Amino acid sequence: MAEIIWGLATSHVPSIGAAMDHHKTTDPYWKPLFDGYEPARAWMAAHRPDVAVIVYNDHANAVDLDLVPTFGIGAAGSYDVADEGWGPRPVPPVVGAPELSAHLVGELVDDGFDIATFHRLDVDHGLTVPLSVYCPDPGEAWPCAVVPVLVNVIQYPQPTAARCHALGKAIGRAIRSFPQDLKVAVFGTGGMSHQLAGARAGLINSEFDRMFLQAIESEPEKLAALTREEYIREAGTEGIELIMWLVMRGALSDRITRVHDTYHVPASNTAAALALFEDLGEA
């Protein structure tokens, strides 16, 4: 049977990928952020999964506003890297895990979640930057296959935090019921606090971010109880991406241990963070 071995929460700021792509990670502006990643990267390199289930949002690159599914899963054998206006990132294409994807879709539909299924999907920085945070030097291929899980955090009404946490629990059950022996990591991406437009453009709320970083481990229900309006008020219009961390946390068991975390302001105009948890399995 498949098992979840760790969960990673990480920001997916596009400039983080650009800093890696253009070899700027040791520049004074970026070095503190990337130094904070190093302990997690070393641990993850020693605990490699077969498949990463990556919860992210498309940024109108593969899914435009004509059709916005609340939740979707990629079921393809491979995913090209999206051209976001300046050419695709110079990273390998993403290899899929279609058997696991099909299993997740079936189990989630049976569990009461109406899932859109993507048989063709270009993946943007929302997915490739977290992969680079995990593996900065993939060479010709990423070290694991990927199941993309898309969440609408762009267009109102976004799913509630409680629904995202419940989806994560359903994903965890579905992964553990997959009959193949696979080691699986689950990524929750986006955030932390930031707002890109409007009167509060540039908003960063470090107090809320640090509360969230602690509560995601032991009090996810507290975070799941927050409304959309509370997320947007406290973390900014784009800070609502944090609900995707709750999908990751829901997929993990109750027995987790924090391996490493780091928090940095700013990465571009965003509060950026990473939190890595080892899943110790069901008691």
Residue with tokens 């990629």: 74
| H or E, element range at 118 | strand 116-118
Burial of 282 (0-12, 13-18, 19+ CB in 10 A): exposed
Rounded CA-CA distance 278/259 in Å is 6
Rounded CA-CA distance 280/255 in Å is 5
**3-class DSSP state for residue 165?**
helix
Rounded CA-CA distance 183/225 in Å is 31
**206: Cβ–Cβ under 8 A, 6 or more apart, which residues?**
193, 263, 265, 271
Alpha carbons within 13 angstroms on the beta-carbon side of residue 130 total: 33
Cβ atoms 49, 251 nearer than 8 A? no
Nearest 5°: the CA angle 279, 176, 2 is 85
Active site residues: 125, 194
